[in-house]
Structure 1
């Protein structure tokens, strides 16, 4: 069955993005999450923190996020790499916290190579602008992050099925993440009509995880 990932936690107001409250809400409802990781010295010693923008201090540490996630059954974490050269620090924290249900994505190609070399769970990416996925045939690449920046849907179900048939996972960026709210429910209905909502190894990332879950599981009463 397709998995639903919240985007920067399940936030209700923009100020809640990437906060403990948003992550706890997401995990408590059974959703994994996408979030952003960066290195920081804002609070003293070098560390990995959860932050979309340049850290200014007071951000959640990566280790704290993993501990919160473990308290809620270790849901899937999609870790958006916001700076190069983080793999050794990330690997150290993941190992020390014993967390394996994750994947790294959006690393630069040189950093993607570094993640693969370290046997970390690494996704390549596709979009309208990236029609060939870097390192796709490398067995160390576990999946594909599939983005969609422009109106409309550039890919079809056959592409997703080919990726899954190749033994890789796939995560789809829902249109709402790019502000195209009019496309959101038609996109979810397409996943249902194509049967992709029943496929294992597939996930969708959205700011509205509860709505997505209702439609994708056929429990939508609206």
Structure 2
């Protein structure tokens, strides 16, 4: 299993998606999940609508390449119209370990058409069959109501058996306890599989817990 540090490796909420938190996660050997929007003609990093300049995507990609990181970039697309420019930057900085997700449905189809690696979604309110499942690189697994039942874990196995990747949203991202979910991943040995990502606010804890 691979760790995706949710908006970087941070210690207080105000550090989320800052350059230092993102780079620290990469330096620790983690992948990162971060959010992309447009502002003044640039792709910048922000979860919320941008009111003042934030970290530019190109700044992050320069540092990512310089660090020789093997961590994956999970890029949450928060605005339409970014994909062509994003693809150019990913090619320019030779980024291979990445995927985009959470974009609008029209943008999902554009991602497919231009050849970007994208994940579709599964959750307790988005059941199978999934949008563009055959074309996606993987599936982003979430649970808005904490319904981690047998069906949830069976779908994970099904996706993996279809030679696709899986990204799992850890419950603390929704303000819920995470220990039982982590226990389940370990009991079912999902944590031993290479094509699985865990997106978490607790990267260092997860690294220790799963002995990664």
**TM-score range for the pair, normalised by the shorter chain length:** over 0.9
Structure 1 Cα separation of the partners of residues 85 and 161 of structure 2: 33
Structure 2 Cα separation of the partners of residues 102 and 210 of structure 1: 21
Deviating beyond 4 angstroms after TM superposition, the runs of 4 or more aligned structure 1 residues are none
TM-score (norm 1): 0.90
Please show how residues 4-43 of structure 1 align to structure 2 within 5 Å: 4-41=3-40
* Contact 1:189/1:216, CA 8 A, preserved across alignment: no
DSSP 3-state at the match of 1:171: strand
Aligned residues: 209
* Contact 2:39/2:53, CA 8 A, preserved across alignment: no
Aligned-residue RMSD, C-alpha:
1.3
Structure 1 Cα separation of the partners of residues 12 and 103 of structure 2: 28
Structure 1 Cα separation of the partners of residues 84 and 23 of structure 2: 27
TM-score (norm 2): 0.94
Gap regions ≥5 residues in structure 2: none
Quick one: which of 173, 177, 182 aligns to 1:177?
Answer: 173
1:47 aligns to 2:52 (yes or no): no
DSSP 3-state at the match of 2:9: coil
Structure 1 Cα separation of the partners of residues 209 and 155 of structure 2: 22
* 2:101 corresponding residue in structure 1: 105
1:210 aligns to 2:204 (yes or no): yes
Please show how residues 94-173 of structure 1 align to structure 2 within 5 Å: 94-132=90-128, 133-138=130-135, 141-154=136-149, 155-173=151-169
Quick one: which of 58, 67, 83 aligns to 1:63?
Answer: 58
Cα drift, residue 190 of structure 1: 0.8
